[in-house]
Structure 1
Amino acid sequence: MTTTYAPTLSAAARGAASPHQASEAASSQTTCYHCGSSLDAANALHGNIADQSQTFCCAGCQAIAQTLHASGMGHIYDGPIAFARPLDGDKRAEAEAVWATYDLPVMRERFVRARADGAEEVSLAITGMRCAACVWLIERALSRVVGIRETTVNYATERARLVCEPGAVRLSAVFAAIADVGYEAWPDQPSARRTAEARERRSLLIRLGIAMLGMMQVMMYAWPVYLHGSDIPVDQTRLMQWASLLLTVPVVLISAAPIFRSAWRQVRHAHVGMDVPVALGIGAAFVASVFATVRGHGETYFDSVTMFVAFLLAARYLELRARQRAASGAEALVRQLPATCRRMDAASGTLQTIPVATLCVGDCVEVRAGEVLPADGVIERGTTEIDESLLSGESVPRQRDIGSAVLAGSYNVASAIRVRVSRVGTQTRLAAIVELLDRALTDKPRMAELADHVAGRFVAVLLGWAVLTAIAWWWIDPTRMFAVTVAVLVVSCPCALSLATPSALAAASGALARRGVLVTRGHAIESLAAVTDVLLDKTGTLTEGRLRLLSIETFGDVDAESCLAMACAMEQSENHPIAQSLRAAAPDALTLPAVECATNVPGHGVHAVVGEQSLRLGTQLFAATQYANQSVKAIRYGYEAPMEEVPPDAACTVVWLGRDGQPLARFTLADTPRADAPACLGALREQGLCLHLVSGDAPETVRWWANRLGIDHAVGGASPEDKRTYVQQLQARRARVLAVGDGINDAPLLAQAQVSIAIGTGAPLAQAGADAILTEPRLSAISEAVYIGRRTLRVVRQNLGWAFAYNAISIPLATLGWLSPLAAGIGMSVSSLLVALNAWRLSRAPRHVA
């Protein structure tokens, strides 16, 4: 079926000029009407589009073109293709100034990567995509940019990858092409560190896959021999041995290659670690099996080799994933600060968009509402409110006037300001906190795993025992020397010992993940088992971190509901936290009156005409200058605590609604505790832990919250340095500290503690310094984590005890020649299986701990 809608794709829209089209026609070549790809005219499909015959490369392109025309979207083939509205006008001019900064060398070095083949690669984050058609539009728009070799747009991740000719593509042209079709794009450059981590994960996963495939195939050949070995003809047994050899070779040469390299480095540096006996066991069993296969008699251990390598690599992959889940402090800092800013040109007085990296002390920058400050400085023009919760721990934005100091990384809430830069780069307050974080990470005391604690002596004794066994059997029976020595190495190969700790940690990590605790460092679980003190932040950790309306006190004959309706109407266009809290407290059925002439006065409030009344909403000096102690009617909103448990004034934010200087209502807002905070703290106390509350809020506020939640030790007004010092003082008294926080100001605290948990909704930098992340808003997971940590330590000790008991029994038997290498291999596998099964009991840990 054909459609009858009109115009054909123009030469510009096709990305080809008329001479090129003429050349194609002369050579019996044409292009697809929909996707523009070249094709042979003899093989092209033809369809009637708008009474004109068009060519298509496939039925899919023909169907899409017909569907677009039928739905009234045929105009996209006439010129610039856009499903969304392109960026234009003043927004386009402002965006172009920002795009131009990405063409500067300092920005290209940051976002453009060189490939091995000489090309350049750029990763983009794209916003506004709604369906697969958006992907097609963006790829088509980018195909017209000169110099782009390859474009891949991923709808699921909203990311695009461009491969470009070296030095031929300007990033501003790429952004402009995407904006022309109605979308917005910015660089999304993964760091070199993250790229290296991804490469390491991919390599280990490939080697693990090879080992798992080899293990399954070899076991398929070994199982019949175990069950019916005497009944199988010799020629069939030999065939299965040769097949097992061929399948084991890639496991040894590829999957186990890093183990052999690590063992060689340890021997070369006179440090015998766990990889040495592992490599000897794998190598000896493989060599013995090869000799037995070639000679046509003797035992083979290909199944033991492949199974051991697969189990070991699986444990190491889980450990690697756990180590790499935490980002570095430097990466988090880059994500916190903006890439560009607007600098005031001293000569012309105009604003120039420049990279933040080129800012200098003394520059004047403009920071608009909703933007992050690029550097430390002093406000020169304007008044606003600054949210410094990630830096100072304060839960409420604070007013900042001319002459006030502001910090890089803080958030401008209310209105535009101009800031004279006083510190940039590594001199800023944010950089100083990151330096504290790095120093704390370096100095952090770490508990060595129990297996590593005894590995050195065990390995030395094991190797010495194998040598003595070989010497003894050389004198006793030289024909059995090799078989007995291999049996000793195989049966004592520290598979169970090496899996004792990682398998338990892996099972515990899975159990914690299912409870909303993501472990990011391997030592975290064992450290949780030894915790004696728990140190918690207040804002965003024990509390919701957002304001909630507690009460409305009315004056005169105006009811609370009417006052709330007028306040919500006046704040309807504002995005301030107080405005959001007032609107959230309003019932859905509340009718808002009409508002006229609403004007925001930064730092004071809003004045507007509401129902022919001139009202003011804001501070007392702004809205209710004539307030006296009048009779009030208080109504509680959204807070179930009795009146005597209302936070003190220092912990509350008060907003006044007034008319002609006379108060109409007083709104009291404050942070509120998380619903499960009391239960979590109670569970921690029942486990014998001492609780501490340390916060950047006012001391009076912190003491009130500590009394409210039953916490004995509380410190307020604490800076990041004070928090870290507090932890050091506890550690000096031999305390094992678990720290819980969410803000950037908590990062040094989290890094200094023996083990730390960051709230998942908090700052990336805080998560970078933490050993675990709480991914669900469920504080009870913290007490569960401590319980699982203690249970994990018990399981690790059981596994280690079993591993040593097994070796204490099996090694003498193998030394005496009572165990063949085959029996030794089976014993090693059974021992490892028992250790793994015991470890996975941790996955059945209870969800709620009392």
Structure 2
Amino acid sequence: MTTTFAPNHPAVPVAGSGSPLARGGAGASHVTCYHCALPLDGAAALHAEIGGQSRDFCCAGCQAVAQTLHASGMGHVYDGPVAFAKPIEGERRTEAEAVWSTYDLPVMRERFVRVRADGSEELSLAISGMRCAACVWLIERALSRVPGVREATVNYATERARIVGDAGAVRLSTVFAAIADVGYEAWPDQPSARRTAEARERRSLLIRLGIAMLGMMQVMMYAWPVYLHGSDIPLSQTRLMQWASLVLTVPVVLISARPIFVNAWRQVRHAHVGMDVPVALGVGAAFVASVVATVFATNGGHGETYFDSVTMFVAFLLAARYLELRARQSAASGAEALVRQLPATCRRMNAASGALEIIPVATLQQGDCVEVRAGEVLPADGTIEHGATEIDESLLSGESVPRARDVGATVLAGSYNVVSAIRVRVTRVGAQTRLSAIVELLERALSDKPRMAELADRVAGRFVAVLLGWALLTAIAWWWIDPARVFAVTVAVLVVSCPCALSLATPSALAAAGGALARRGVLVTRGHAVEGLAAVTDVLLDKTGTLTEGRLRLLSIETFADMDAEHCLALACAMEQAENHPIAQSLRAATPHAMPLPTLTSTANVPGQGVHAMVEGKQMRVGTQSFAAAQYTGQPAASIRYGETPVEEVPPAAACTSVWLGRDGQPLARFTLADTPRADAPACLAALRAQGLRLHLVSGDAPETVHWWANRLGIDHAVGGVSPEDKRAYVRKLQAEGARVLAVGDGINDAPLLAQAQVSIAIGSGAPLAQAGADAILTEPRLLAISEAVSIGRRTLRVVRQNLGWAFAYNAISIPLATLGWLSPLAAGIGMSASSLLVALNAWRLSRAK
């Protein structure tokens, strides 16, 4: 739902001023509606007694809304700022105001504010906390009071707001404060010239597609009666339908097909014959012949028209190109998706005073000291100067478990600080960071990636050259045989050989295959992905988040004292109750909900070590062995419980995470946790092997862990401890040996791997960049869809070959017949349409595949 605060309907309330002048109070220089603030004509205004005062309204709708609000106790919304949610205030407000003020700096305004052609400024915001249309009205009402704001539009469905204001008059901090006053949070939605251009291109193509579709439907209404009952329809009515078809086809040719003719002319000027040249030739020839036939028929001659074929071909072709455009655009935003992982601001320590100041990340310099609190993303590469914590680097390194980092440890931009606040001395900023290096690597891989051209594109140049030469020879020959038939025979040759079927052979099959894949949970984002799947010989898979769930599971509990496993688990769960660490989450998940938890006192977290607390006067600790069970000397465990996991399926120690529970330094229990395999991983790998594909497991985890998983899952080739660069090099080595590689991954660290492979699939729950750099996205957590995608790709390639074979066979038969004069232009048009229909129906079989 989108509303603005200049509506013309009372059902969409807007932000009117809360002052007496705006409500038509005493002393007003002009009268406005009490509800929507629109100017009123005094003679036409409605009046009602509301809240003990006489109010003026522009219509009965505004009057009814105002009366309803007052009757329900919500009349205070007209008296000033009001929040449907709790406003941001107190210490949180003070900290937020410091962040807001940074957005008024020139470097931030240039990043987030766009200057429009009329000199005004436009700002896009993302807003959280909206629950209904009333929230939209309230936010717009608050924004309307911000000085300098001309227009504000809030979209409830997308949770976005667009603000237009006078040049330099709107302070971003004031905008954020106004929204916070009514209980909502907002932050800039960074404008992008690329996204704007993509939206404009999509809109233009959709308009042209809509015109073509409407023209096709209307023209076919006139064409079918002539095809079925032409001899029974009076000549005058036939001519009327021809002229109506002409009028309807002109917009399709001049508007919908205009880019096709422009591109074809550009290709001819540069001595390059692409697919647009034969397409433009077919459309142009059929249209010109139809126009000539219509005009001559009006003057007493006789001719046939092909307006239905023209509109149908243009509509089908634009539909296929729209699908290709959406796929191309969704795959082109990889670098931007990754850069957006970084925060816009950070806390820098002032070298002189030692105080913290909030500054834009763009102004950070090497040597600065920044504070990064728990739950925040690191803004730059650096080393820890103070504090200890755990850093989640899964998006960069592929490691599934956060790692402890202490003073002197290196941390990377884009990593997530999990446990506690740290101070970091910046060593690399901007383009020098590890994050930017991965972006550059991705862009280079995308540009170097081999592109498999469509088979139709490879033959289009030769086909159109032969077609033009053949049509010219036909015209010369018939000039000597029968000059009166030159035009009709030449047009028949051009129409019957129109590359409709050739042009639709590949796009229609790819579109049908894309639909079949989407129903199986595989969203194709690049046009060549289906053809690439058909030629795959090797499959590379990441471990964490791909073959495994990427979350820890409790495998065993070993007890060393008088406390049994259940009580040890309850105690550890109670101590980790307030933590948000993946290990804490796993322990809580393994604890039955009905299990009573002990009472703790003096609970405290020691970053990088664990948690300690007092239980019945004794100090309990849970965490690392050195922290919780320093006096462990290798004594045997009293009991071992593996739950539902067979002993042979328990990973080696290097692939597991151990958490110790201790009492006064003595071990009580050891909890063993490990990653969780996806349930359908074995079935998926078995299906891929049955298709004759070689499987490779390449991961950033420890080599011992990777090899154990490979042996368990039956993967012959496995490599562990590799960086994103090493993954890409592994793919290039396989490609140098002639392999056609399908890569499957989920993290940002997999993006270069996905980009380098001939075809790639990203797990839909993974990082946005991995999805942006992939050729297809697995939208459902079902690995079997990967093997199904390979199968559909192979079937699609067979259908494409069948379509191309039919297209060439059709032309090989029909062109000689037309050349000999045995096919009229009407028969040629029917043959052309029938050929295209057959190709489309054959491709449609892919969408019905079981």
Quick check: TM above 0.5? yes
What's the counterpart of residue 455 of structure 2? 450
Distance 2:562 2:334 in 1: 56
- CA 1:327/1:593 → structure 2, altered by over 3 Å: closer, same or farther? farther
Partner of 1:641: 645
Following superposition, the deviation at residue 214 of structure 1 comes to 0.7
Residue 705 of structure 1 corresponds to 709
Counterpart position of 2:97: 96
Aligned counterparts of 2:557 and 2:125: Cα–Cα separation in 1: 48
Asked if the contact 2:113/2:191 (under 8 Å) is kept, the reply is no
TM score, norm. by length of structure 1: 0.95
1:670-708 Cα deviation digits (max 9, x unpaired): 101101100000000000000000111111111111011
User: For 1:268 and 1:466, how far apart are their aligned partners in 2?
Assistant: 21
Q: Contact 2:23/2:37 (CA < 8 Å) preserved in 1?
A: no
Q: 2:282 is matched with which residue?
A: 281
Equivalent pair of 1:566/1:610 in contact (CA under 8 Å): no
Letter in structure 1 aligned against 2:205:
L
Structure 1 residues 192-237: Cα deviation after superposition (integer angstroms, max 9, x where no partner): 1111111111111111111111111111111111122222222212
Question: Is the 2:33–2:56 contact (alpha carbons within 8 Å) kept by the matching residues of 1?
Answer: yes
Q: For the Cα contact (< 8 Å) 2:16–2:144, is it kept in 1? A: no
Shift of 1:75: 3.3
Cα deviation per residue 1:562-599 (whole Å; 9 max; x = unaligned)? Answer: 22222121111111111111111111212222222211
Q: Is 2:539 the counterpart of 1:534?
A: yes
Report what 1:792 is aligned to.
Answer: 796
CA contact (8 A) 2:496 2:832 kept: yes
CA distance in 2, matches of 1:113, 1:710: 55
Letter in 2 for 1:825: G
Secondary structure at 2:579's aligned position in 1? coil
Residues 1:696 and 2:700 aligned together: yes
Q: Pick one of 483, 498, 501 that aligns with 2:503.
A: 498
| C-alpha displacement of 1:147 | 1.5
Q: Is the aligned partner of 1:351 residue 2:371?
A: no
Distance 1:736 1:369, change over 3 A: same
* Aligned partner of residue 478 in structure 2, secondary structure: helix
Secondary structure of 1:461's aligned partner = helix
Where do 1:311-710 residues align within 5 Å?
A: 311-634=316-639, 636=641, 640-710=644-714
1:478, CA displacement in angstroms? Answer: 1.4
What per-residue deviation string (whole Å, max 9, x for no partner) do you get for residues 36-92 of structure 1? 333234333333333333333344444443443344333333332111111111111
Percent identity over paired residues? 84
Secondary structure class of the residue paired with 2:40: strand
**Residue 637 of structure 1: how far off its partner (Å):** 6.1
Alignment partner for residue 17 of structure 2, among 15, 18, 41? 15
The alpha carbon displacement at 1:351 in A equals: 1.2
What is the CA distance between 1:114 and its match in structure 2? 2.1
**In 1, Cα distance between the equivalents of 2:337 and 2:493?**
50
> Which deviates more from structure 2 when the two are superposed, residues 61-70 or residues 552-561?
61-70
Amino acid of the residue matched to residue 153 of structure 2?
T
Superposed displacement of residue 17, structure 1? 5.0
Q: Which residue of 1 aligns with 2:148?
A: 147
> Would the aligned equivalents of 1:337 and 1:373 in 2 still touch at CA under 8 Å?
yes
Per the alignment, residue 308 of structure 2 pairs with 303
1:814 is matched with 818
Aligned pairs for 1:174-193 (under 5 A) are 174-193=175-194
What pairs with 1:127-142 in structure 2 (closer than 5 Å)? 127-142=128-143
Moved more, 127-136 or 29-38: 29-38
Letter in 1 for 2:373: R
Partners of 1:748 and 1:24 in 2: how far apart? 69
Residue range with higher mean Cα deviation, 55-64 or 375-384? 55-64
C-alpha change, 1:575 and 1:67, in structure 2 (3 Å) is: farther
State the secondary structure of the residue aligned to 2:303: coil
**Which secondary structure does the structure 2 equivalent of 1:47 belong to?**
strand
Partner of 2:244: helix, strand, or coil?
helix
- Point out the more displaced range, 624-633 or 466-475: 624-633
**Alpha carbons 2:16, 2:141 under 8 Å: kept:** no
Measured after TM superposition, the shift of residue 629 of structure 1 is: 3.4
1:196 pairs with 2:210 = no
Secondary structure class of the residue paired with 1:588: coil
SS of aligned partner of 1:342: strand
Q: Per-residue displacement from partner, 1:337-370 (whole Å, max 9, x unpaired)?
A: 1111111111111111111111111111111111
RMSD of aligned residue pairs (Cα, Å): 1.7
Contact 2:384 2:406 (8 Å CA) reproduced: yes
Alpha carbons 2:559, 2:670 under 8 Å: kept: yes
> What is the rounded CA distance, in whole Å, between the counterparts of 2:71 and 2:669 in structure 1?
59
CA distance in 1, matches of 2:728, 2:187: 37
AA aligned opposite 1:228 = H
2:451 aligned partner, one-letter code: R
Q: What residue ranges of structure 1 are gaps of 5+ in the alignment?
A: 1-12
Report the CA distance shift for 1:572/1:23 in structure 2 as closer, same or farther (over 3 A): closer
- On the 8 A contact 2:24/2:55 being kept in 1, the answer is no
TM-score normalised by length of structure 2: 0.95
Q: Could you tell which deviates more after superposition, 75-84 or 425-434?
A: 75-84
Taking a change above 3 Å as real, the CA distance of residues 46 and 425 of structure 1, as seen in their structure-2 partners, is same
- Shift in Å, 1:532: 0.5
Give the Cα separation in 2 of the matches to 1:438 and 1:620.
Answer: 44
Aligned length: 832
Q: Take 2:223 and 2:455, find their aligned partners in 1: how far apart are those partners?
A: 35
8 Å Cα contact 1:521/1:771 also seen in 2: yes
Tell me if structure 2 keeps the 8 A contact 1:24–1:30: no
Classify 1:154/1:26 alpha carbon distance in 2 versus 1 (closer, same or farther; 3 Å).
closer
Q: CA deviation at 1:250?
A: 0.4
Q: Report what 1:764 is aligned to.
A: 768
- Residues 594, 49 of structure 1: alpha-carbon distance in 2 compared, 3 angstrom cutoff: farther
SS at structure 2 position matched to 1:803 = helix
Q: 2:170 maps to which residue? A: 169
Alignment of 1:834-849 (within 5 A): 834-846=838-850
Task: State the shift of 1:24 in Å.
Answer: 8.1
Distance change (3 Å), C-alpha of 1:110 and 1:679:
same
CA drift at 1:466: 1.0
Moved more, 187-196 or 492-501: 187-196
Deviation at 1:761, TM superposition (A): 1.2
Partner of 1:223: 224
Q: CA deviation at 1:636?
A: 4.1
Q: 1:349 to 1:319 in 2, by over 3 A?
A: same
User: 1: distance between equivalents of 2:368 and 2:67?
Assistant: 57
